[in-house]
Amino acid sequence: MKTGTNVKLFLSVVMASCILWSNVWAGSGAPEEETTVLETLIVTGSGQKTKLLDTNASIHVINRKDIENSGLGNTAELISSIPGVVNQKSSSQTYFSIRGTRSGMSGGPQIYVDGRPINVGVYGYSKIDSIPLDSIEKIEVIKSPSTAKYGPNAGRGVILITTRKGTQSGKSLSGHVSAEYGSWNTRKGDAAISVKQEQFDYDLSAFAEKSDGYRNDDRDIKNIDGRVGWQFDGGRIDWITGYNESFNKYPIGLAEWQVERDPTVVSANTKEDGSGYEMLPNESDEDLFNTILTLDYDKNDLLINSSVGFSRDHQDLSYNKYLNDSTKLDDNYEDDRVENLYDFKASVGKVFSGQSVSNTLTFGLDYRYSDFEQDRVYPYDTEGNNDDSEAAADIDAEKKMFGANFNHELSWNIFKLQSGLRYNYVSYDLTNRVPQSISVDYDSDIDWSISPSVNILDNANLFITWNHSKYYLPMGYYSSNMSYDNAYTRPEDLDPETYDTIEAGWKHQMSKAFNYSLILYYTVVDDKIVSYYEGTSFQGRRNAGTSIHKGVEVEIDGRPRQWIGYRLSFTTIDAEWDEGTAKAYATPDASSTSVSDLSGKTVNYVPEYEYTAGLDFYPFKDTKYGSLTIALDLRGFGKQYEDYNNNLEMSAADFLDAKITWDYKGFQCYLSGTNLFDKEWNRMVNATGKAHSRLTTGSGFYPQDGRYVGIGVAYKF
């Protein structure tokens, strides 16, 4: 029986069991304090709190209970386990793609940690791997948000991470400490303390991790965060500061023969006949400092939400592709990258209430300024062969983003209408040492959204939403196109991507035993970006055409009895080119490139479907021996293509994760496992479409992690 058939059979059994449980045990079972996902409170862009049930969007929430039950080892793995969210990590940096909308080497959704943006660097990647799971209270993944509510570049989605705070414990002194040891000599440690004194509260947390990695992709991460909060009548002020230091050593994309020999060994990559070369891991040494001051006020129907923040990201990157071939050693280079990011936003709103009517108006402004500098050297280039490349890659750049937004929410009996409008102004200024300079402005761009809904049943929400937004490209697209200086990839010809998304959804909170949501989505991406090649030589990026992304998202959860809970998420992702062109190999064995018509082809790196199905068992809880929790999760995805012409296919994959946790009077011991069946799976990057067997060097095989088993202890007070 094929994998896809197994998956469909498993999902059918789980869904049938869910319906049976809801009919048999509705109204009995779980204690009152056990809430369902749809009851979860989230914070909207204007600062108001609302139940997930009442939101007119596809939002997936991971709460503290979900985090504690998950067998996954880090935050990136947990987020990418959400169907529709693909982790396209192929090096030391994490890139999420929601519904297949992300283009290569660029940031996906906007990610905020307690309001601090963590999309940094020339390509807008995230520092999500440095956030320990023990420090997170809640994760909200908004798959198609209104940019008027959530700020610029939200068209690809938004991820909001809320950390644990001392105010949530209700104690004057609280905290936790934990340690874990696992596969590949992985060591993790996390500690936090919180103090509350009258109107003031303080939090301090630290995290460290060292690991040899699955395939010699060593990592060494240190993170510290602090917060001071002041609660006053109607609102609060928070000052949050964090510092992260990370070192990563990781192999670049391997050739097929290297993966077949041993994907876990990097230093033995010379061919068996002694010819060829040895490939070395890249090295990234990075530190990120960020700080933010926030104000939230909600009293007497007046809403005020504002923040001002600063981030500084410094990365030393060593691109160590070759070792023992002197003719290729010159291609190794080192980048020194520094980015300063300034961020400001403020909104003010007013709630007008009457009999059966509520009207909320909110107006806001935001400004983001990024100053980036990159210096490149070729340390092994003794003859100056790469002087021109070095000068072209030495970049000074600025990016400015200004926006004004207006949001309106009208409620009348069972009806609700939400709408938003946003004005954008974005400018880029880049220079290198060739010399070459460009200046690009985008103004008068308008984003908007409209969403009517109706509560035709108690605890149910039927809605339809239409969002229109722009995605403004990262500076790395412009800087790399400058360095290649190709007539087909001129940086001044790049345009932002445009997103039009229609969602229709139904959310229904039936009982503790059975709750579900069903959402249909349809997204049109205009001016979608692709990588441009001449032969197998990358020459930058260009706007290719229009792609259409559509599918169905289903989420079900429940706690039919006190000793068992279940959850199921499933999404289809049908991503297809409506029209467009790319330069790629016509067939896998072709010896020359041609301009390919993309019309009707599947967008590469997008799986056909994704799913997660889980069961939580509570054999005993709050007994004199403590509490025991057993969690099982099956997750997987369908096949996908790695090239524009759909010649090269990556197979479907399924993974099993598990965690056993014992709690006793504040102490916790756990055993967790990820990919327990040790499924081997390679992420492949080869947009040219030329067969891997014909590429002895430079192809992109990235073996993904094998089985990980960890054991940990924690203490909460």
The confidence score (pLDDT) of residue 265 equals 54
CA 528 to CA 545: how far, in whole Å?
A: 6
DSSP states along 286-318: EEEEEEEEEEEEEETTEEEEEEEEEEEEEEEEE
CA 462 to CA 274: how far, in whole Å?
A: 66
pTM of the model: 0.89
Q: Is 544 left (phi over 0), alpha (psi -120 to 50) or beta?
A: alpha
Give the pair of three-digit tokens for residue 642: 């790695």
CA 570 to CA 58: how far, in whole Å?
A: 13
Cα dihedral sign for 409, 300, 46, 552?
negative
DSSP states along 572-598: E-EEEEEEEEEEEESSTT-SSEEEEE-
Torsion of CA 110, 152, 150, 236, to 10 degrees: 90
Whole-number Cα distances in Å, 428 to 277, 370, 437, 486: 40, 10, 10, 19
Whole-number Cα distances in Å, 27 to 20, 152, 526, 560, 618: 13, 44, 48, 9, 19
Query: For residue 634, which of 670, 606, 675 has the smallest C-alpha distance?
Result: 675
SS3 391: helix
Mean pLDDT, 10 residues at a time, over the chain (717 residues)?
A: 45 42 38 59 61 83 89 88 83 81 82 86 81 88 86 87 77 92 95 92 94 84 94 95 90 68 54 58 90 95 95 91 70 93 95 90 95 93 88 93 94 93 95 91 92 91 94 91 87 94 94 93 95 81 95 94 93 96 72 80 94 95 92 95 88 95 95 93 78 64 87 94
Q: What is the DSSP letter of 328?
A: H
Give the pair of three-digit tokens for residue 339: 């980015």
The confidence score (pLDDT) of residue 129 equals 76
Whole-number Cα distances in Å, 326 to 329, 330, 331, 389: 5, 7, 10, 18
CA 521 to CA 506: how far, in whole Å?
A: 12
Burial class (CB in 10 A: 0-12, 13-18, 19+), 687: buried
CA 46 to CA 48: how far, in whole Å?
A: 6
Query: Hey, where are the domains in the chain?
Result: 3-716
Query: For residue 178, which of 189, 168, 164, 186 has the smallest C-alpha distance?
Result: 189
Give the pair of three-digit tokens for residue 257: 């023969």
The confidence score (pLDDT) of residue 695 equals 61
Give bridge partners of residue 371 from the DSSP assignment: 340, 398
CA 526 to CA 401: how far, in whole Å?
A: 21
Query: For residue 131, which of 241, 226, 244 has the smallest C-alpha distance?
Result: 244
Tokens 């403020």 -> residue: 346
Q: Which fold has domain 3-716?
A: Maltoporin; Chain A (2.40.170)
Tokens 């961020």 -> residue: 343
CA 142 to CA 683: how far, in whole Å?
A: 25
CA 683 to CA 258: how far, in whole Å?
A: 14
